[in-house]
Amino acid sequence: MNNRLKVGVLISGNGTNLQSLIDAAKQVNFPAEIALVISNNPNAFGLSRASKANIPIQVIDHNTFEDREAFDRAIDTALKKVGCKMICLAGFMRVLSAQFVDSWPMKIINIHPSLLPSFKGINAQKQAIEAGVQISGCSIHFVTSQLDSGPIIAQVAIPVLNGDTPTSLSARILEHENKVYPIALETVVNKLLCLNPSSKSINQSETTDSLLSIY
C-alpha cells in the first residue's frame, strides 16, 4: 500500500509485540510501516528483531541523559527525523514526560498487561494475582500525561487460573497482546481517529469487528 503512515516503535526488552507489528506490517494492505525502532536498553532483544526485518534501529539510553526531558527530546528528534507520525509503545518501560506526550496528542498508543483502569504501572500481572482477581487481560490505549489512563482502544479479558504465577499469567496475556496490538494499530490508523483526550473509549464497534474475526 502506498502512503502508509510512518510509525516509530519504542521498546525496552524482548519485543514480541514489536514482532507482531513487524509481521502485520508485511501485509500489503496494512496501513502503517515501521520507520524506526528505538530502545532505551542497548541489550533489548527487540533490536535484533528489527534489524532482521531491515528496520532502522536507534539506542537512546536514558542513563546517558541528565534528565527525563533531555532523553525525551532525543526520542522526539529521532522520530521526527524519519517522518514518524505516530508512536507505538511496545514494552517500553520508561515514563514519558507530560511535555513529550502533550506534543504528540492522541498519536501515541501503548499496550498494557491488565484490564485498565485496574493494575496500572509496573508488574501488572503480579498485582492482578495479589488482588485475587479471576479475570485479567490486556489493554491498548492512547497515551496521555496520566500514567496508563488514556482512552482505551481495545481490551481482551483473560482468565487468571488457580496456581498462576506472575510468569505463567504474563505468558498467557502476552499471547493475546501479540494478536491484538496490530489490530488496534490498524484500526486507529484506518479510522484516523480524532479524539478528545478526556474520552474514555473509542467507538467500540471498530475494534470489536476486527477482534471477533480472531476470537
What SS3 class is residue 58?
Answer: strand
For position 174 contacting ligand GAR by CB under 6 A, the verdict is yes
What SS3 class is residue 116?
Answer: coil
The residue written with cell numbers 514526560 in the block is 97
For the record, the C-alpha cell of 95 comes out as: 515514563
Complex with ligand GAR: residue 111 or 188, whichever CB lies closer: 111
- Of 14-22, 62-70, 101-109, 204-212: span binding ligand GAR (CB under 6 A): 14-22
For the record, the C-alpha cell of 49 comes out as: 528483531
**Residue in 111, 152, 154, 211 binding ligand GAR, rule: CB under 6 A:** 111
Q: How far apart are CA 100 and CA 69, in angstroms?
A: 8
Compute how many other C-beta atoms are within 10 angstroms of the C-beta atom of residue 56: 14
Q: Is 62 assigned a catalytic role?
A: no
Q: Which of 38, 14, 179, 45 is nearest to 100 (CA)?
A: 38
Q: How many residues bind ligand GAR (CB under 6 A)?
A: 14
Looking at the DSSP bridge assignments, the partners of residue 108 are: 87
Chain positions 178 to 197 lying near ligand GAR, rule: CB under 6 A, are: none
Give the DSSP H or E segment for 80.
Answer: helix 68-81
For position 17 contacting ligand GAR by CB under 6 A, the verdict is yes
For position 113 contacting ligand GAR by CB under 6 A, the verdict is yes
| DSSP annotation of 89 | E
Cβ-in-10-Å burial (0-12, 13-18, 19+) of 177 comes to buried
8 Å CB contact between 128 and 160: yes
Residue 14 beta carbon to ligand GAR: minimum distance, rounded to whole angstroms: 4
**Residue in 36, 84, 86, 90 binding ligand GAR, rule: CB under 6 A:** 90
Complex with ligand GAR: residue 15 or 150, whichever CB lies closer: 15
- Of 12-20, 32-40, 70-78, 183-191: span binding ligand GAR (CB under 6 A): 12-20
Chain positions 122 to 141 lying near ligand GAR, rule: CB under 6 A, are: 124
Question: Residue with the closest Cβ to ligand GAR?
Answer: 91
Task: Build a one-symbol-per-residue string for 145-164: x at contacts with ligand GAR by CB under 6 A, - elsewhere.
Answer: --------------------
* Site of interaction with ligand GAR (CB under 6 A): 13-17, 46, 90-91, 111-113, 124, 174, 177
